Structure 1
Amino acid sequence: MNLYDFKACTIGIEINLNTIATHFGINKKFKWGDFLVLDTKLLTGIILHPENKVVHIYHFGSIVGVNLTLHEIKDIIEYIKKLDTNLKNNPPFNYTEDFRIEVKDVSEFELYHNSIAVEKLQEYQINIVSTILAKSVALKKIEVDIDKLLDEIENIIEFLDKGHLNLSDENLAKMSGNILRFKYNTISYLMLLDKPDIAWQNKSAEDFYVSLSELFELHDRYETIKNKTEILLDITEVFSSLTHAKRGTKLEWMVIILILAELILSLLDKFI
């Protein structure tokens, strides 16, 4: 029985695949849905034992290693950060996903909690598992970040319950930008609703992809994030309306005070 262990992690919002590919002598213009493959030959010199090991790098910030240890993946990430300078200041990865392909005597494929068994390994199966893991680990980071934003907004709501509202336009803009970023990342960056090209051409590959997508609940998680972002946008719209109303009230009071001051000055000038 042959085993293929996958470990995925996310190291940023975006990775420049073209810059990294050029360094390795790969003359290809990567499209939005492509991923970069570093095989044994390209990994030589980066890790000590590159035999039968592969790395898939995705533009949306995820890296998936096949048969690599965590230490080896860290070494590869440090090497990539030297090539793509935008990744240098990114914090260490805190989100990982693990999976395994087992090649053994089964009919077509059998899916388990954190592994899948196949009768004969196909190249598309490695690519599909890697892509699913890359999307899942990127989703995990988005899920954590959006929950943090929900907690932050909950604190603001508690202030509203007490009759206080101290939100600047800058904070509102930043909050709205974060929410839109979550929505943009899940739809445009991760392309969760898009199947790999092979899934459109090969029925077995499509079944394989659909089964793994259901196992990692990609569609359900996408819907959850979508709903949360809609709720957050509604809340920020309310905050924005309240802030503008508060500012309008202040301006009205300022106008009233100025009119009263002018009247008082006129009366003083008349009688004195």
Structure 2
Amino acid sequence: MNLLSLYLDKPVTKSTIEYSLDITLVRGVENGYYGFNKSLHAVLAPFGVLTLIAEEKKEILHALSSLGITLGSDDENTLITQDYPIRIDPTLISAFEVTNEAIILKSASTHNLNIIALAISQSVGLEHYEKRLNTLFLQSRRIVESIHTFSITRRTHLMQFAKRLALTRHDMVSNLLLLDKPNILWDDAEAEALYNRLAFILELYDRHETALSKLSQIKEDVMLVMDLINHKKSEFLEWIIIILILVEIVMGIMQMVK
């Protein structure tokens, strides 16, 4: 079996997937959906990642074509994808075995495929935020490098950047479901073990912590520049007060002379 998970740059609705792939989607993990037919298993994660599982790669490519998605050279720089082969081995001693090369199951089930799709889609979603953070990190560096030329008039620009940063943190923490155990894992030790193994192989938690660390560093940079701007603003107001006092003194002296 073949698995392909990709981040949807343009949102695809549940009804569009159902109509294009001739699949009925039902509620799955948290706010996600899943469905399957004779040749395809599809999982739509709530954070904009679509995972397709099929026996043949051509079936996945056909499904993507039906959705208007092409994995050609024009999209290689924009589409975030991850693929993983899934093998079925009835002679396997344990229920599953996960390596860097493949996922091996003793038997395939809708439940197991949804668990696998969840972990891979989280990895793809995390990669999307990693790229987004890299862009923000470069922008924050440029802001710090130009700190000596930063003026009060650029305060709005910095506030917009801080807003983007806060929204990125909120989306990453709330959407990826990495801080809380998904409901699908409760009361199912085997499913939890499969998910934990996949999370370990994909380094989900380590990558999540690294991303949060980058967010904290960018936040410190923004606070540093904001403090400088506030200091400049305070100095500007102090000079205005001093000038007003001097003008009042001069006018008082002129009045006394008259």
TM-score, length-scaled by structure 2: 0.80
Checking the alignment, whether the CA contact within 8 Å between 2:49 and 2:124 is kept in structure 1 is yes
1:136 matched to 2:123? The reply is yes
- 2:5 is matched by which residue type in structure 1? A
Q: How far apart are 1:209 and its partner, in Å?
A: 0.9
- Determine the C-alpha separation between the residues in 2 that align with 1:152 and 1:57: 32
Match of 2:234 in 1: 248
**CA–CA distance in structure 1, aligned partners of residues 3 and 140 of structure 2:** 37
Quote the offset at 1:247 in angstroms: 0.8
Task: Please tell me whether the aligned partners of residues 5 and 99 of structure 1 are also in contact (alpha carbons under 8 angstroms).
Answer: yes
Q: 1:198 to 1:155 in 2, by over 3 A?
A: closer
Unaligned runs of 5+ in 2: 70-76
Pairing 1:24-43 to 2, within 5 Å after superposition: 33-40=30-37
Secondary structure in 2 aligned to 1:201? coil
Tell me which amino acid in the other structure corresponds to 1:164: T
Quick check: 125-134 or 227-236, which moved more? 227-236
Report deviation, 1:269. Answer: 5.4
Match of 1:203?
A: 189
Work out which of the residue numbers 98, 112, 123 in structure 1 matches 2:99.
Answer: 112
Q: Displacement, 1:95?
A: 0.8
In structure 2, the residue matched to 1:212 is 198
Question: Structure 1, residues 222-248: CA drift from partner, whole Å, max 9, x if none?
Answer: 111122222222222222221111111
Measure the CA separation in 1 of the matches of 2:118 and 2:23: 23
How far off its partner does 1:16 sit?
5.9
User: Distance between the aligned counterparts of 2:43 and 2:192, measured in 1?
Assistant: 20
Structure 2 counterpart of 1:55, from 22, 35, 42: 42
Separation in 1, partners of 2:25, 2:98: 37
- The 1:112–1:182 alpha-carbon spacing in structure 2 relative to 1, beyond 3 Å, is same
How many residues align? The count is 242
TM-score, length of structure 1 as denominator length: 0.76
Residue pair 1:172, 1:236 contacting (<8 A) in 2 also: yes
CA distance in 1, matches of 2:110, 2:16: 23
Percent identical pairs in the alignment equals 21
Of 127, 138, 163, 1:177 maps to 163
Shift of 1:153: 1.0
Shift of 1:8: 1.0
